[in-house]
Amino acid sequence: MARKKVNLAYIANASARKATLKKRKKGLMKKANELSTLCDVDACAIISGPHDFHPDVWPSDSGVKHVIARFKKMPELQQHTKMVNQESFIRQRINKAEELLKKQLKENHHKDMTHVMYQCLNGGGFQYLNMVDLMDLDGLLKQNLKDIERRIEILKKDRSDMTTINEIGREQNGLND
Amino acid sequence: MARKKVNLAYIANASARKATLKKRKKGLMKKANELSTLCDVDACAIISGPHDFHPDVWPSDSGVKHVIARFKKMPELQQHTKMVNQESFIRQRINKAEELLKKQLKENHHKDMTHVMYQCLNGGGFQYLNMVDLMDLDGLLKQNLKDIERRIEILKKDRSDMTTINEIGREQNGLND
DNA sequence: TACACTATCTATAAAGA
DNA sequence: TTCTTTATAGATAGTGT
């Protein structure tokens, strides 16, 4: 974002990509930290390269600082109530987050498959898909076919209804010849 | 970050806080999106206000775009291998992230308690802590006491050893008078 | 309350060490 | 390659509607 407008696409050059990752990762973590401090929210950022299993996460130990800072700002009576509920509250939020994660993954997979379907129908072959993906794709295509057939049926029905109406209309207007 | 340098602390004014949250949340999500697009990583951001159970997450539907963009950049043979492993890979990464989350929560709680302990010993009272936290604090204090006692024992032992050595030294040098 | 504006602050791309 | 520097793109605090 300096000296040039960024082209928002994958950076092909490996070292440039690594440098950008390092800088922007730091920036993102800082932003998450600031947001949680300023606005009384829990923010969490996870960054993981695709080739290793070592995701970087925020909050780290710095996380506790803003929690305590926030806590100290509350009226004392609220502090007490808050503390009582804290554990169950956190547990609920974790569950909610995990549910959302699962939902997102499922949704993403479906969209991925839809995209793959269009790609394949658009000239690409199926040779690079594995069995699991092919079966997913199969299901997706069948579902689409069913939808299409249902629509055809509806259109047929509409047309025949329309014809009937027209016939009735003609009869009523005495236009039968 | 405009018209004034931000004071990095909780914003007391509710409407100002809400406005900032909205702006910065959008910013953070955008940054996460950019990072994942530019650098071939999976980034995830979760923001949840403390008073509701509706966390905002990224990636959303835009997430799939960069995944596919990335996929297309790979040599075709790698695409195949990658696809085969994708499912198990993602599952492993989720497990890893969940483990990290749990670990972080535990660590944060411990630090929180340590901080509370110092606060209390430093003049504040215990009246605003609930039973669960008091029990945690109790355990923490006992642990610390044990550590202290152990260190005292070691010091005692060292001193008696030292005395013995001194006595031996005096004997060897014929300094007994 | 929720937007739009914009002066200013912050993040960072590119270059240099 | 990684750290430092610097010019500029991008984010946003305060303000007005």
Residue B166 within any structural domain of the chain: yes
- The secondary structure element, H or E, covering residue A119 is helix A76-121
Residue A73 CB closer than 7 angstroms to strand D?
no
Q: Which residue in A37, A46, A89 is closest to B8 by CB distance?
A: A37
Interatomic CA distance for residues A41 and A38, integer angstroms: 8
Q: How far is B121 from chain A (nearest CA, A)?
A: 16
Interatomic CA distance for residues A58 and A36, integer angstroms: 11
For residue range B29-41, list pLDDT tens digits in order: 888 878 877 887 7
**Domain that includes residue A62, residue range:** 14-83
Sheet holding A56-58, edge to edge: A56-58, A42-48, B42-48, B56-58
Average pLDDT over residues A54-75: 47
For residue range B126-147, list pLDDT tens digits in order: 444 444 455 555 555 555 555 5
Residue B71 within any structural domain of the chain: yes
Q: Is B98 on the interface with A (CB under 8 A)?
A: yes
Final residue in a domain of this structure, among B25, B49, B83 = B83
Segment among A9-18, B117-126, B134-143 with least mean pLDDT: B117-126
CATH number, domain of A22, equals: 3.40.1810.10
Residues A129 and A72 in one domain: no
Residue A47 CB closer than 7 angstroms to strand C?
no
Residues B78 and B94 in one domain: no
Number of structural domains (chain A) is 2
Query: pTM of the entire structure?
Result: 0.45
Residues B145 and B129 in one domain: yes
User: Is the CB of residue B112 less than 8 Å from the CB of residue A64?
Assistant: yes
pLDDT band at A113 (very low <50, low <70, confident <90, very high): low
User: Is the CB of residue B82 less than 8 Å from the CB of residue B55?
Assistant: no
Residue B123 within any structural domain of the chain: yes
For residue B177, the SS3 value is coil
Final residue in a domain of this structure, among B49, B64, B83 = B83
**pLDDT of A29:** 82
Residues A92 and A172 in one domain: yes
Residues A103 and A52 in one domain: no
Q: Which residue in B43, B111, B130 is closest to A61 by CB distance?
A: B111
Residue A4 within any structural domain of the chain: no
Residues B56 and B94 in one domain: no
The percentage of residues in chain B with a pLDDT greater than 90, rounded to a whole number, is: 1
Judge: B28–A25 Cβ closer than 8 Å, yes or no: no
Which of these, B75, B35, B25, lies nearest to A50 by C-alpha position?
A: B35
Final residue in a domain of this structure, among A25, A51, A83 = A83
Q: Which residue in B28, B37, B90 is closest to A8 by CB distance?
A: B37
Residues A104 and A171 in one domain: yes
Residue A9 within any structural domain of the chain: no
Residue A1 within any structural domain of the chain: no
Which of these, B93, B47, B107, B54, lies nearest to A92 by C-alpha position?
A: B54
Residues B121 and B171 in one domain: yes
Residues 38-77 on A with a CB inside 8 Å of B are 38-50, 53, 55, 57, 59-61, 63-64, 66-70, 73, 76
Strands (E), A20-171: 42-48, 56-58
Residues A53 and A92 in one domain: no
Which has the higher per-residue pLDDT, A83 or A144?
A144
Residues B61 and B139 in one domain: no
Residues A96 and A164 in one domain: yes
Residues A55 and A120 in one domain: no
**pLDDT of A62:** 41
Residue B171 within any structural domain of the chain: yes
Residue B15: closest C-alpha in chain A: A39
pLDDT for residue B17 is more than 80: yes
